[in-house]
Amino acid sequence: MIPKTFKEVIDLGDGREISIETGKLAKQAHGSVVVQSGKCMMLCTVVSNYKQSDVDFLPLTVDYREKFAAAGRYPGGFFKREARPSDGEVLTMRLVDRVLRPLFPKDYHAETQVMIQLMSHDDDVMPDAMAGLAASAAIQLSDFPFECAISEVRVARVDGEFIINPSRTQLAESDIDMVIGASADSVMMVEGEMNEISEEEMTEAIKAAHEAIKIQCAAQIRLAEAFGKKKTREYEPEREDADLAKKIHEMAYDKVYAIAQAGSAKHERSASFDAIKEEIKATFSEEELADFGSLISKYYYKAEKAAVRDLTLNEGLRLDGRKTTEIRPIWCETDYLPSVHGSSIFTRGETQALATVTLGTSREANQIDMPSYEGEETFYLHYNFPPFSTGEARPIRGTSRREVGHGNLAQRALKGMIPADCPYTVRVVSEVLESNGSSSMATVCAGTMALMDAGVQLKKPVSGIAMGLISDGDSGKYAVLSDILGDEDHLGDMDFKVTGTADGITACQMDIKVKGLSYEILVNALKQARDGRLHILDKLTETISAPREDVKEYAPKMVSVRIANAFIGALIGPGGKVIQELQKATGTTIVINEDPVTEEGVVEILGTGQEGINAVLAKIDSITFKPVVGNSYKVKVIKMLDFGAVVEYLDAPGNEVLLHVSELAWERTENVSDVVNMGDEFEVKYFGIDSRTRKEKVSRKALLEKPEGYKERAPRENNDRGSRDKDNRGRDNRNRDSRDRKRD
């Protein structure tokens, strides 16, 4: 028996639809939906334990996976099954997690899992744009304590028109690629890249996305009502004690305010705050600490947060003594590492990033192999965040989701400034050495300088800044904070990172924690971010004003040439013999790709020595050499024969041609050695393919003056062969006799 299903359809306004269906699949999950657009289908399930976990946070896991069967493909690798998530899948998980997490109650600590699986792929649909919709729709069908429906959409702009959830083809023509997450009332998350757009243009794109999200939220609510809205589950709330909270607030607030007001460095400030906390705990007995210990810590942090926020709103001062618009001191250095292709250090306050650049061939391109997308990146950036950067000791268990996300943001900030004709594959690596506020933006700044130090001809330098917001909804007061500290990130209402050139925004990432943030405040915050970004940009260009004209002496030089498809095999040689020997002899790396459009061979030559590169180019010229009829070429005798000499073109070593004895001189030549000898160099004229011999013809005598009194010999007649005509050969006579016998 097929179960009853419930379905809602969302009209995207241009003939495309998104459907949300429930009731058919995964009915033991606490909520499940199938979201479909075109042939793209994804299943989302949500489950949350009924017992609270013994932790003081929400153990939420968002998992997004793309099944290779969805695209009719096999997974790569030795084991033919899906394994660890790709970076693309991790980035989608982060997009969904950042919107869902704040909407669960702060005291809800049950282990919760959201699983989204791409089950069927459509080349015209980008599935990551629907993952947030699927997650929220499944939660709406559950009994989870969750504040409200949300959704996420991608917005692009093509020819001045905004497109919701564009295809990959449309996205390639767009100057905006942003994913926005929001409820019907508030924008909560923004992430994307842009082609140097203004703050106002970015705000307009967010508004367009939000209107589409409102429609998707309404569809989820209708589906839940039709399915039968479940009663929200009851759970054991966190313990509260209003009297204790008031007591600790009174004990801590003024002292914290005074320390915050004084302005101090991170470790000094942390030690002072810890001292206040220990002083408060000392006023309680051992029995009270055993009973109220966790509450004391909780209420102390609330008092600390309130004091720091009030200081900023009341006096415009911050934890380290800066004004709200002030940027921390910056110092930079390039060419720090002697043996890398490009390097730089960017230090802003207590945040420091060391960036390196490595140049390579297309063989080093980053291969992307996902069911929803196959391709390669010739520019990519990796971000590492070791524990010592924050003064901690903890185990390193592979690349974290945070590292993937921060690296992707920095990569998107810079990639639009890499010129299209850059011959190299470029890898940037950022090593965060200190962190107290936006190491991802430090990575953008360090990456810009390292690229210029490596000789990559950036179109324009890029800088980045992390901004914060503290607001008081009751009074309407708010403060936008430029270049936020780590502590300000935690206690603020908005954390947004903006990167760009002097002419516009190239990437952004925003997490908005306050409801109903007005677009007026958002625009003001973005404009303040622009001022800070330009200030940082000036510091970068003071250190290195423009890219190096060429790569460094020990960095590889890259030359790219195109050859006809017919010559690819000759350059590779049987079993790769020619190209392997050439690389060994010249100390170069040679990569050959085929242009899918022109079908030409694209040969990349990478080497640190110009002599080696020149030798490879000479070999390619030799292999692809085609003499032109009527032109003269210098040749060298490399072999003597009775009927002529084999000569080699000096401009194309390895290309040989026979110079017939009759073309050596105008006079009759009995012996080839009477005219030329081994090693002789002279010029010949090229006549193309001889119609009689079907071989290439060159002539030395054609470039010599005829001797005085020279007479051309009369051409031989076709039958002048010692009176041996066809009849005398007997072959034709035998054939004729045979035909006569057949007639008889």
CATH code, domain with 576: 3.30.1370.10
33 and 164 housed in the same domain: yes
Question: Domain containing 681 — which CATH number?
Answer: 2.40.50.140
Give the model's confidence band at 729: pLDDT under 50 very low, under 70 low, under 90 confident, else very high. very low
Please report, in range form, the residues annotated as the binding site.
489, 495
Retrieve residue 278's tokens: 């220990």
Q: What pLDDT is attached to residue 726?
A: 44
284 and 351 housed in the same domain: no
What's the structural domain count of the chain? 5
d(CA 134, CA 21): 10
Backbone angles phi, psi at 170, to 5 degrees: -65, -35
Residue 736 within any structural domain of the chain: no
138 and 259 housed in the same domain: no
For residue 474, pLDDT over 60 is answered with yes
Please report, in range form, the residues annotated as the binding site for Mg(2+).
489, 495
349 and 463 housed in the same domain: yes
d(CA 194, CA 445): 17
pLDDT digits (tens, 9 = 90+) for 151-203: 999 999 999 999 999 999 999 999 999 999 999 999 999 999 999 999 999 99
The range of the structural domain enclosing residue 607 comes to 557-624
Average pLDDT over residues 419-439: 93
* CA distances, 616 to each of 23, 274, 553, 559, 561 (Å): 65, 66, 19, 10, 11
| Full-model pTM | 0.84
98 and 155 housed in the same domain: yes
Give the model's confidence band at 715: pLDDT under 50 very low, under 70 low, under 90 confident, else very high. low
Average pLDDT over residues 299-327: 92
Backbone angles phi, psi at 85, to 5 degrees: -65, 145
Residue 388: alpha-carbon gap to chain centroid? 27
Give the model's confidence band at 728: pLDDT under 50 very low, under 70 low, under 90 confident, else very high. very low
48 and 175 housed in the same domain: yes
Retrieve residue 594's tokens: 């085929």
Q: What is the mean pLDDT of the chain?
A: 90
536 and 447 housed in the same domain: yes
CB < 8 Å & 24+ apart, contacts of 226-231: 226/6, 226/8, 227/6, 227/22, 227/23, 227/141, 230/141, 230/142, 230/143, 231/143
Question: Domain containing 380 — which CATH number?
Answer: 3.30.230.70
d(CA 479, CA 424): 44
48 and 181 housed in the same domain: yes
Residue 424: alpha-carbon gap to chain centroid? 15
Q: What pLDDT is attached to residue 723?
A: 44
pLDDT digits (tens, 9 = 90+) for 636-654: 999 999 889 999 888 887 7
Q: What pLDDT is attached to residue 256?
A: 92
Boundary residue ending a domain (624, 647, 669): 624
193 and 340 housed in the same domain: no
Boundary residue ending a domain (280, 315, 350): 315
591 and 682 housed in the same domain: no
pLDDT digits (tens, 9 = 90+) for 535-567: 999 999 999 999 999 999 888 888 889 998 888
Write the burial class of residue 142 (CB in 10 Å: 0-12 exposed, 13-18 middle, 19+ buried): buried
Question: Domain containing 281 — which CATH number?
Answer: 1.10.10
For residue 744, pLDDT over 50 is answered with no
